[in-house]
Chains A and B, each alone.
Chain A
Amino acid sequence: MSAFNESFRFGIRNIRKRPYRSFCLVLAAVIGSYALFVGLALKASLNNGIGRMQERMGADLMIVPESSEIEARNILLTGEPEFFYMDVAVATAAAEIEGVECATSQFYFTSLSSDCCSTRVQLIAFDPDTDFVIGPWIDERVTSDVSNGSVIIGSEVTPLSNGKVKFYGNEYSVAGKLGETATGLDHSVFMSRDTMHGILNDAKDKGYQFLNPEDDGAWVSTVLLRVSDDADITAVEKEIYNRAGGIRFIETDKLISDVAVKLGSVENIINVTLTVLLVFSFLTMILFFSVIFHERKKEFAVLRILGTSSRRICFFSLTEGITIGAAGGIIGLVLGILTVFPFNHYIENSLDVPYLMPSVAAVILYGMIGVLVTTLFGSLSSFLSTLSLAHAETYYTMRTGE
């Protein structure tokens, strides 16, 4: 039997012989591994979220009606369906300002959570001729034409069993599903203005009127602008405001930095919690191993008497530490996976910031880090607890262990 097998077997026998203490040690390792995995996965999801949000925003500036800034932010950040309108003249005026490279408008309305609709989602009509925000993103996944009454759904929108979505009594085929953006747009459905016109008519027939469909072309919900690099964004805002009052500007950079501040607070909470739990896990393991090994002083003395070297005794206890750390690490990882994945949406909604789960490779990496760290905790705490005993004079260890 190799030294490793023999140490492992002896370690396992000792672990099984003291089930309550072993359970407490494994629990400490579970807490460490769970905290590390969940903490790393949450942090990565938050960073992915804001990164993807930054990527997908496309516009530098968003113009919304004066009283609708909060609603507009909600659409972008949480996907809470909203509608608000302003005169289309804002779009025309903004497009003419010097320094504005691109301008496009969007029209927001909502579906209902009643029988007439699949679910309550944000409906967004855009102009494919001027669009520079959604287009590049649509091109990644959607190849069929969206102008013929079909729609594109966000990554979190689930179609009916027949693959269609239903709004105000009519079903619409799904031309494609967008990739995750980690923003409220994942809960939105996109369409051309022609399709929007038909849905608004259906809504009116059902008694829900957002605007009179006959003059929906006179209104927009938001105007999105891309400003040239050399332009002063504040000057552009001022110029637009002078030409079309009653509006509010949302700067994408400001929006992202606001989100980043909020995300920073959430990350701080995660970091503090993670640190506290890791320290608790490590200290608990050291404490338990010290108590256990102190009570097993006599056993170590017997091992010395039987011809076990000090180094070998450290190896025996190291095996126990590694086994407990690894077992707790794996259990913590499984519990972490069972928390992070099934409760993904709940976490996203609770945190109220862009949230995008990391890739499978990253999840595997975090899992490995969790298990490695608790295995290291186990081995280090058992090793440190044994060190003094292994080198103590056997006679005294034997006597004090009695």
Chain B
Amino acid sequence: MAFLEAQKLVKEYNRRGKTFRAVDDIDFTIEPGDFVMIEGESGSGKTTFLNLLTGLTDPTSGAVIIDGRSLKETGDKEISKIRNQKIKYIPQGESLLSALTVRENILFPFTIGGLERPSEERLLEVSDKLGITDLLDEYPSDLSGGEMRRATIARAVINKPSLIIADEPTGSLDSANTFKVMEIFRDIASEGTAVIVVTHQKETLGYATRVLEMDQGSLKEVV
């Protein structure tokens, strides 16, 4: 059974009195263990699509169904709970909380969700893989862009969620770290987590089990 399903998903925006479709009638499903990569030009609707999948943006029409439940019929509290426990979203840009250390940032979703924190071993295992163990007690303001990005990825993967959605996660990373992150995503997918990655880096497409292309709001299968 698909963990996430998008049915005839449409998102329209109004720009200077004209309506345009950022996401145009997309049907999409992802199952546990899938590693889907989405490529496409800037402005093709990729980020809007990801925001629709995570319930951060409401669709104009269509539905997103997660674990058999339509987000349309789910309240904010419940959608927030799903984002906290089942879906980890890595947005574009920096998304660490400036008042917290890297360690606290990684563990923050457990704090707000009232969940049992992962063990120190798990924290160190993920931190080691991403090369941020020495930075755990630093504040985001003391980190470089690449270090912040890796800390954000650590926050997403630490509890092996049902779905990871990453919007250009390796944009600010060098190629060595880019491949390291892709390996982490592939490993976590092999353990049953569904992974969706939006990327412009064609050299990483080989890690995916499926590659899709977004073009003017429409999604089509490439591989």
Contacts and interface: CB of A to CB of B under 8 A. Distances in A.
Contacts of A303: 97, 112
A6 B114 CA distance: 9
Contacts of A299: 97-98
Contacts of B98: 17, 299
Contacts of B80: 304, 307-309, 312
Nearest to A305: B89
A394 B56 contact: yes
Interface residues of B, number: 32
A306 B109 contact: yes
A346 interface: no
Contact of A305 (B85, B95, B114): B95
A306 B82 CA distance: 10
Interface stretch (B36-44, B47-55, B173-181, B198-206): B47-55
B83 A395 contact: no
Contacts of B112: 6, 303, 306-308, 312
Interface string A287-309: 00000000000110111111111
Contacts, number: 76
B137 to A, nearest CB: 14
Contacts of A309: 76-77, 80
A6 B111 contact: yes
Contacts of A298: 93-95
Interface in B116-156: 155
Nearest to A306: B109
A155 to B, nearest CB: 54
B91 A398 contact: yes
Given A305-B89, A305-B91, A394-B57, A14 B77 contact: no
A321 to B, nearest CB: 16
Contacts of A402: 93
B85 A307 contact: yes
Contacts of A301: 91, 95
B111 A307 contact: no
Nearest to B82: A307
Interface string B63-90: 0000000000000110011111100010
Name the 3 nearest CB pairs between A and B, nearest first: A307-B84, A307-B83, A309-B80
